[in-house]
Amino acid sequence: MNRWISAALPAAVIALAGLPSAGAAGVNSAPAPGKPAKREAAVMIFTITSPSFAPGGEIPSKHTCEGADLSPALAWKEAPAGTKSLALIVDDPDAPDPKAPKMTWVHWVLYNLPPGAHGLAEGIAAKDLPAGTLAGTSDYKRGTWGGPCPPIGRHRYYFKLYALDTVLPDLKNPNKVQLLKAMEGHILAQAELLGTYEKKGK
């Protein structure tokens, strides 16, 4: 299986800095009399998606503690110009109970993914991550994927991909908070994919 996926897939939740608003000067405005209309430049949108589940859809059980606990396949495209590395954080803001959340549970932390990588294969092993990628520490106290295992209710899982203008130093297995601190001032754009899961077993 390839180390990463290069297929372009439908957009998920996105965030992109630096785009002018519709009311900004020169945007969607009529040309002056006698002057030809200018063609708008194509907007490149940074996105992350998964062939394993639809944006906002249910994560299959094989990616959870009720199945094989394989990491889902991920794909991304259109990292902005100047991107030197990518970072991935997967977390659940609904722990332990969506009706009374008390913490955000972190499922996966990766950083220094090379900008030439366009995704991750399903069930990817640490040894097969793109060259240069470093792992942080999840709330499972490990550097590998830890799938959804919600004790009660349907939880939301956010796959957050950050495009950075730098390659970070070796942070020695950072947790989410430590990685976010190291990324401050270096984030060019962020893309998000949302999935949900509720336990099927009793």
Which pLDDT tens digit goes with each residue over 160-195? 999 999 999 999 999 999 999 999 999 999 999 999
Give yes or no for a cis peptide into 148 (omega within 30° of 0).
no
CA distance 16 to 68: 34
pLDDT for 32 equals 44
In this structure, are residues 5 and 121 in contact, taking their beta carbons and an 8 Å threshold? yes
Fold of 46-110+119-197: Phosphatidylethanolamine-binding Protein (3.90.280)
pTM of the full predicted structure? 0.79
8 Å CB contact between 132 and 169: no
- Reported as a single tens digit per residue, the pLDDT across 89-144 is 999 999 999 999 999 999 999 999 999 999 999 999 999 999 999 999 999 999 99
Cα separation, 202 vs 151, in Å, equals 10
pLDDT confidence of residue 44 = 73
The closest of 138, 184, 157, 179 to 72, measured between CA atoms, is 157
Write down the pLDDT at residue 1: 42
Check residue 43 and give its pLDDT. 63
For residue 75, the one-letter residue type is: A
The angle formed by the CA atoms of residues 14, 20 and 44, to the nearest 5 degrees, is: 45
Residue 42: the pLDDT is 52
- CB of 111 closer than 8 Å to CB of 87: yes
Q: Which residues on adjacent β-strands are paired with residue 164?
A: 85, 187
Given a cut of 50, whether residue 4 has pLDDT beyond it is no
Backbone angles phi, psi at 83, to 5 degrees: -70, 125
13 to 106, 131, 180, 185: CA distances (angstroms):
19, 27, 20, 22
